[in-house]
């Protein structure tokens, strides 16, 4: 039997001897039982080396913090950095406006500046203001633009760069595409006119 005792019909002497041996064996293992009750569990990896669980937990927490920070940064980028700055600016402007009195008078400098900076349609002085702003922004280097005859159309309406010499070096695909589109439109228009001719 698994417990070490004999199976089947056993005399009382044999049974008593076996029980004494079992008790003796249990007494011998009692100190091991006490020691193992208060010891910490040893975790090992596949190769048999001890694992340092505290260090692993710390590394896992650091990794989770770095991942959360990266996710938060991507979420911020996903919303748009310029939009975020604009929203913060709007909140600051709203707070500043809330601190002002409700009634605004003619000598309010913020209102005057805001009204002057607005561009209105049909304003005869708008060109002069744009030129003045362009002079003020001269410090900012602006990339040179293409100055030449109007370039041929392309699919994306991209204006050529300033280093372009104006020569079309394509294989003619875009011209063929535009011709097909124009031909399709013309055929559709002709078919429509023909279908409603008798009405």
pLDDT tens digits, 85-135 = 999 999 998 898 888 887 878 888 888 888 888 888 888 888 888 888 888
pLDDT for the residue numbered 68:
96
**Predicted TM-score of the model (pTM):** 0.31
Q: How many CA atoms lie within 13 A of 159 on its CB side?
A: 8
Alpha-carbon 68 to chain mean position: 12
Question: CA-CA distance, 38 to 177, in Å (whole number)?
Answer: 83
| 8 has pLDDT over 80 | no
Nearest to 148 by CA among 163, 130, 129: 163
- pLDDT tens for 166-194 read 777 889 888 899 999 999 999 999 999 99
- pLDDT category at 139 given cuts 50, 70, 90 is low
């Amino acid at each position: 039997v698994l417990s070490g005792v004999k199976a089947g019909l056993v005399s009382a002497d044999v049974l008593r001897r076996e029980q004494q041996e079992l008790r003796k064996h249990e007494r011998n293992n009692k100190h091991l039982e006490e020691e193992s009750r208060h010891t910490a569990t040893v975790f090992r990896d596949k190769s048999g080396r001890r694992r340092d669980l505290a260090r692993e937990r710390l590394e896992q927490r650091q990794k989770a913090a770095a991942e959360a920070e990266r996710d938060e940064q991507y979420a911020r980028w996903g919303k748009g950095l310029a939009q975020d700055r604009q929203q913060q600016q709007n909140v600051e402007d709203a707070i500043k406006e809330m601190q002002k009195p409700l009634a605004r008078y003619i000598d309010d400098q913020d209102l005057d500046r805001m009204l002057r900076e607005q561009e209105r349609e049909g304003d005869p002085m708008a060109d002069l203001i744009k030129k003045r702003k362009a002079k003020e922004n001269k410090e900012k280097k602006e990339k040179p633009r293409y100055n030449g005859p109007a370039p041929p159309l392309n699919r994306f309406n991209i204006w050529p760069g300033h280093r372009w010499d104006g020569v079309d070096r394509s294989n003619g695909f875009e011209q063929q595409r535009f011709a097909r589109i124009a031909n399709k439109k013309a055929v559709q228009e002709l078919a429509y006119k023909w279908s409603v001719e008798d009405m």
